[in-house]
Amino acid sequence: MPTYQLTVNGKAHTVEASEDTPLLWVLRDHLNMVGTKFGCGIAQCGACTVHVDGNATRSCSLPVASAAGMSITTIEGLSEDGSHPVQQAWKEVDVPQCGYCQAGQMMTASAFLAKNPSPTEEEIKDAMNGNICRCAAYNRIKKAVGVAAEKMA
Amino acid sequence: MSKSSIQFSRRNFLRTSSLASGGLLIGFNLFTACKSDVKPPVDLADLNYNDFNAFIKIAKNGAVTIFSPNPEIGQGVKTSMPMIIAEELDVSWDNVYVQQGVLDTKNYTRQVAGGSQSIRFGWDALRQTGATAKQMLVNAAAARWSVDASELTVSEGVITNKAGETLTYGDVVDEAAVLEVPENAVLKEPKDYKIIGTDRRNVDIDKIVTGQPLFGIDYKEEGMLYASVLRPPAFGQELVSFDATEAKALPGVVDVIQIGDKAKALLGGEKVNWTAQLSGSGKVVVLAKTTWDAFKGKKPSKPFGQMLHL
């Protein structure tokens, strides 16, 4: 089985996995980083979102072979101590209900705000449109992205 | 809302013990009366959800830990049920820690969430438990000061007498643990609520925003396998046969088994349950070393098995 060099949250890892293994399962099963969640497995729900070279990416549909050598950031590495403005905003607004989709929501939000630090409400809605929340915490998600943007200003 | 007594037998819903490590342990039942012959354990490792389905620990430093058996599935019971106890116990919400009761299917039969019942049926018992525990602590303080308990006031875990002297809950937990469980505990008036009716953060918020293990799918055990279930594609279809040769040859796949016979055997019988009704068909399960291996084992190049339309 081939081996791959991955940089996750700034740390180098060597993993042995078949080349079609999605990054999601390498993170969860091989590296025991379970913050990134499995939702649909077909890049339709956003629960598995991580940053690959700063871009919000669906890890369930990215083969490990394509992720090798790139800089990957997961929810565990968004900040060292939960102090990223998006994490702070999520706590302040008390966004989660069950919380299962929220790692993906926060990774999408943080990648978006890095590119657009002062978004309009419409831009927030567009950016978060691909992340599904079965609890329907959408209003709080939208609010928290705005709160995070204010914190980053 | 009233100060009137509640409907179930107060004598039989709550019992206490002194913890070996110090502090007071209260065992109580949310939906049923306690058995007459059991006491909560003196060691937390021995919590038994058959005897009591919920527990409260009050430590000597005043910290309150609430062990709740009801599963949190996003409905918020891991936050809201302890809020009700903390309200009547009259402690600061900041001193309350919530711990999920262990999964104990052998001893505990109603460890489920469903039908929006947790608060509806827990409301009286949770309030009464908090109020009774508070009364025990007040009685212990009254005994220490040799005064009548009615002369004492409580706010956020601090008991004050007429002279203005104070004792914290932690100061009197050991004495309270050996007192009789009082039957005259008085519930708060809603106008005096400080916690119920207020907005409190999800007790798991820190874990959620930092991606710490919290959900069933996050559970890890050394050497564990991952299973993926192949179900008939439509309701009412039945598995006739399957050929696991190709799946078993895949790297990482450890075994392929069939399940569903037990549920099927229940169908048509007197004791058929809803689980069997919903899943009374044969299913193929791929067991593998990683989730991806198990997923791949479900998708061989040739049709896996034959499904029969019933």
Confidence (pLDDT) at A2: 94
User: In angstroms, what separates the C-alpha of B213 from chain A's closest C-alpha?
Assistant: 6
Confidence (pLDDT) at B10: 53
Closest residue of chain B to A94, computed from CA coordinates: B201
| Alpha-carbon separation of residue A46 from A13, A126, B73, B293 (angstroms) | 24, 14, 20, 22
The reported pTM is 0.88
Q: Which residues of chain A have a CB within 8 Å of the CB of B205? A: 90-91, 94, 96
User: Are A85 and A25 within 8 A, CB to CB?
Assistant: no
Contact B208 A102 (CB under 8 A): yes
- Asked whether the predicted pLDDT for residue B304 surpasses 80, the reply is no
Longest dimension (CA), chain A: 48
B210 close to A (CB below 8 A): yes
Confidence (pLDDT) at B161: 97
Contact A94 B208 (CB under 8 A): no
Q: Could you say which residues from 37 to 96 on chain A have a Cβ atom under 8 Å away from some Cβ of chain B?
A: 37-38, 41, 74-76, 78, 82, 87, 90-91, 94, 96
Tracing tokens 């192949």 back to the chain, one arrives at B230
pLDDT in tens, B112-145: 777 887 788 788 888 988 999 999 999 999 999 9
pLDDT in tens, B186-235: 999 999 999 999 999 999 999 999 999 999 999 999 999 999 998 887 77
Measured in whole angstroms, how far is the alpha carbon of residue B73 from the centre of its chain?
11
- Asked whether the predicted pLDDT for residue B255 surpasses 90, the reply is yes
Minimum-distance CB partner of B210 among A32, A41, A76: A76
Confidence (pLDDT) at B8: 47
Q: Which residue has the higher pLDDT, B191 or B301?
A: B191
In three state form, how does the secondary structure of chain B look?
A: CCCCCCCCCHHHCEEEEECCCCCEEEEECCCCCCCCCCCCCCCHHHCCCCCCCEEEEECCCCCEEEEECCCCCCCCHHHHHHHHHHHHHCCCHHHEEEEECCCCCCCCCCCCCCCCCHHHHHHHHHHHHHHHHHHHHHHHHHHHHCCCHHHCEEECCEEECCCCCEEEHHHHHHHHHCCCCCCCCCCCCHHHCCCCCCCCCCCCHHHHHHCCCCCHHHCCCCCCCEEEEECCCCCCEEEEEECCHHHHCCCCEEEEEEECHHHHHHCCCCCCCHHHHHHCCCEEEEEECCHHHHHHHCCCCCCCEEEEEC
Which residues have CB under 8 Å from B29's CB, separation 6+? B13, B14, B52, B53, B54, B125
Residue B309: strand pairing partners: B237
Q: Which residues of chain A have a CB within 8 Å of the CB of B223? A: none
A100 close to B (CB below 8 A): yes
Q: Could you give the CA distance from residue B222 to residue B289 in angstroms, rounded to a whole number? A: 11
Longest dimension (CA), chain B: 85
Classify A61 as helix, strand or coil: helix
- Asked whether the predicted pLDDT for residue A103 surpasses 50, the reply is yes
Confidence (pLDDT) at B5: 41
Measured in whole angstroms, how far is the alpha carbon of residue B172 from the centre of its chain?
27
Classify A42 as helix, strand or coil: coil
